[in-house]
Amino acid sequence: MSTHMRWSMLLLPIAFAGFALSVSPAQATADGLGSDKSVMIRTAHGREMFAVDALEARTAEAKRVNADLADKFGRLPVPAAGYEITDVVIFRLSDEQPATLVVNSHGGATEVTAIDAAPGFYAASCDSVASAISLADALASDDRVLECYVSIAQPVTLRDLPTDPGFPNQWHLRNTTMAIADVNAEDAWNAGYDGTGVIVAVIEGGWQTTHEDLAGNFNAEASQGSGGSSNHATSVAGVIGAVDNNGLGGVGLAHGAQLANIYFGNDQQNADAFGYRNDLNDVKSSSWGPWDLGLLAEMSSVERTALEEATATGRDGLGEIFVWAGGNGADYNDRTDYDPYTSSRFTLCIGGIGDLDYRSDFNETGSSMLVVTHTSGNVRGIYTTMVGNNYTSSFGGTSAAAPLAAGAVALMLQANPNLTWRDVQHVLIDSARKNDPTNVDWVVNGAGRDVNYNYGFGAIDAGAAVALAAEWTNVAEELSCEHTQLVGVALPDNDPVGVMSTIDVEDMINIESVEIIVNATTTYVGDLRIVLTAPTGTESIFTVPREDSQDDLNAYLFTSFRHWDESSQGIWSLTISDEKAGDIATWLDWSLIIHGTAGTILGDLDGDGDVDQSDLGILLATYDLLPGDPHYNDDADLDGDGDVDQSDLGILLAVYGTGT
């Protein structure tokens, strides 16, 4: 059994215990977690207390004491197991100087190496966990060091909730019961696309590379090895690329693609995984995430840098494609926004719908949700491979949705190998199918796009995606703008109205993604609701009140795709409200970062740089006319549905008064 799988097996009882039980500081000491075994460790998220066994070992299992998560009565949650402390210190320097020289001035390291996947970062290997802890503290006091922390493997939860019964057919590829409720593999295959020439890596604890239905597609050169394997990872690999026409099991959506095996783990291992052989690997699929369950989770800076570097330099500069499972925490009021891996503009956040084409019962909602695809959660599960040359018909969770999406991306890259990582987002959004059309959460954003907290922009249609990809012209160079607003006010306690802060953006960007960074002090972040409103009126909800006793928002980053294709220009507002009594929060400041391409003004039909009465007149002159009428104006079809109607009028009125 691999170390990674040992962590995940420990998570289930801990997750339930963490919400059902608590201990006092005195009980923690009595349980052997007192000062004799507890130690403060500098981690990627700050100084945290752990109960560590075998400090003199090279790696040590540990429990997080959670001293910062005391409830309102001062009780601590049960210590969280499943951590592994390493003997490696990750650090970054303030200027050009020999990293080895800096480390040697403090002693304790046996080797210093650059982390290629994250330029500017170094790893200092020590002879024990204790030495690494000491070195991190020493480096933190050195003015030449921008940041440093011990590399730690955190508990993760595998996004697989195979609770629904099923039978051994692959309805997610061809649904004979409800024809619309599948990924439309047949149209893609019939067009000649099966993923040939594309390599898809599974980032996890290892899948069975010798499985009879997978071995034929295994690419050793693109892999970190072929060691330990789990049912979960083996099932993920099968959804992507199980071999076709071999008389065994089922078939992967991208059965012509090759599969690579890459390992997750601690901060450094994850960064290395994100950067590993991106000259060979085209797509990387992750069906795991932080153990958050409604809590705001964090990503280390070395991981975040590695993700950004991979999208900048991978695939010869076109950018590595990272596909991520959106999460199964709906029962815990979890959101994709609380997970830094899925709330990232560098990843494709994939949600789940079932064989009846509506939301899977576990599927999380969020502003970072991009698209959805099929998995368990309505009636049937997914049929795929398992360890030991076995098969299952009950794989599920967003763990199954992510690799199905990764398979669809592989087909797209076969159709057009020149797609950048941003073009892949465009094609998926433009070709998505509006599933569950009567769902009340569907809204039309300011660019006329249907978007939904449950489904993002809709369900992946592999047939439509490859057809669009094949004729796609790459989008223009990415532009970004950033604005910061000081606030410095205490939020009214137990008040849903809260405080609004605005930023007036003059930059003209056709939006792809929007990020906000929030700084606030509070003793209970779960009291806060955070909502961003665009000039068009489109909202992005980032947090809602829940049970989360963490302190403060320290430069916490949220990402939204809900404003796709809207114009950046105009007044953006962020509202934060403290909706539970007893904890005072102070909002310090926030930043708005908008990414996209050079924009035109939506609704500027006469091209004068403003949306005004003249443009309204142009739209009304062609209102309700059909294409082909001599007075029909295609430019006034702002939502692109082929008609100039009430929807287009609403879009124009939403942006009325904007411009230069």
Do 49 and 27 share a domain, yes or no?
A: yes
> Does residue 159 form part of some domain?
no
For the cut 70, the answer to whether the pLDDT of residue 134 exceeds it is yes
Let me know whether 380 and 501 are in one domain: no
If asked whether residues 530 and 639 sit together in one domain, one would say no
Residue 532 lies in a domain: yes
pLDDT at 10 over 50: no
How confident is the model over 223-252, as a mean pLDDT? Answer: 92
Q: Whole-number mean pLDDT of the chain?
A: 89
pLDDT at 540: 98
- Please tell me the predicted confidence (pLDDT) of residue 657: 80
Question: Do both 186 and 134 map to the same domain?
Answer: no
pLDDT tens-digit profile of 457-493? 999 999 999 999 999 999 999 999 999 999 999 999 9
> Mind listing the pLDDT tens digit for each residue in 391-426?
999 999 999 999 999 999 999 999 999 999 999 999
- Which residues constitute the domain of residue 338? 164-470
The 10s digit of each residue's pLDDT in 487-538 is 999 999 999 999 999 999 999 999 999 999 999 999 999 999 999 999 999 9
Per-residue pLDDT tens digits for 359-375: 999 999 999 999 999 99
Structure tokens at 533: 């409103």
Both 516 and 414 in one domain: the answer is: no
- Does some domain include residue 588? yes
pLDDT band at 71 (very low <50, low <70, confident <90, very high): low
99 shares its domain with 41 = yes
160 pLDDT exceeds 80?
no
Task: Give mean pLDDT, residues 208-212.
Answer: 96
* Predicted pLDDT at 164: 27
What SS3 class is residue 300?
coil
* Whether residues 303 and 419 fall in one domain: yes
- Calculate mean pLDDT across residues 620-641: 80
- In a domain, residue 603? The reply is no
- Does the pLDDT value for residue 444 go beyond 50? yes
What is the C-alpha to C-alpha distance for residues 400 and 146, in angstroms, rounded to an integer?
A: 39
- Residue 152's pLDDT band, with cuts at 50, 70 and 90, is very high
The CA distance from 401 to 373, in Å, is 6
* Strand residue runs (E) in 414-494: 443-444, 450-451, 479-490
Q: Which of 3-7, 63-67, 112-116 has the highest mean pLDDT?
A: 112-116
**230, pLDDT greater than 70:** yes
End position of a domain, from candidates 128, 154, 180? 154
**Would you tell me how many other CB atoms lie within 10 Å of the CB of residue 97?**
10
DSSP characters for 234-253? Answer: HHHHHHHHPPSSSSSS---T
Q: What is the pLDDT of residue 4?
A: 30
* Backbone φ and ψ of 100, nearest 5°: -60, -40
List Cβ neighbours of 493 (8 Å cut-off, separation of 6 or more).
578, 581, 582, 583, 584, 585
Residue 504: give its domain's CATH number: 2.60.120.260
Quick one: average pLDDT of 568-585? 96
Per-residue pLDDT reduced to its tens digit, 275-332: 999 999 999 999 999 987 889 999 999 999 999 999 999 999 999 999 999 999 998 8
| Rounded average pLDDT over 8-12 | 28
Q: The whole model's pTM is what?
A: 0.85
Of 154, 182, 206, which marks where a domain is finished? 154
Same domain, 448 and 576: no
The answer to whether residues 8 and 108 belong to one domain is yes
> For position 451, which CATH number holds?
3.40.50.200
pLDDT above 90 (res 390): yes
Query: pLDDT at position 202, please?
Result: 98
pLDDT of residue 660: 58
Answer whether residue 98 is part of any domain.
yes
Q: Are residues 215 and 258 in the same domain?
A: yes
pLDDT at 385: 95
Domain end point (choices 470, 502, 522): 470
CA-closest candidate to residue 201, choices 336, 118, 314, 369: 314
Q: Are residues 168 and 79 in the same domain?
A: no
Residue 456 carries which DSSP code?
A: B
> Are residues 219 and 360 both part of a single domain?
yes
- Sign of the C-alpha dihedral computed for residues 546, 552, 557 and 561 taken in this order: positive
Q: Look at the chain and report how many structural domains it folds into.
A: 4
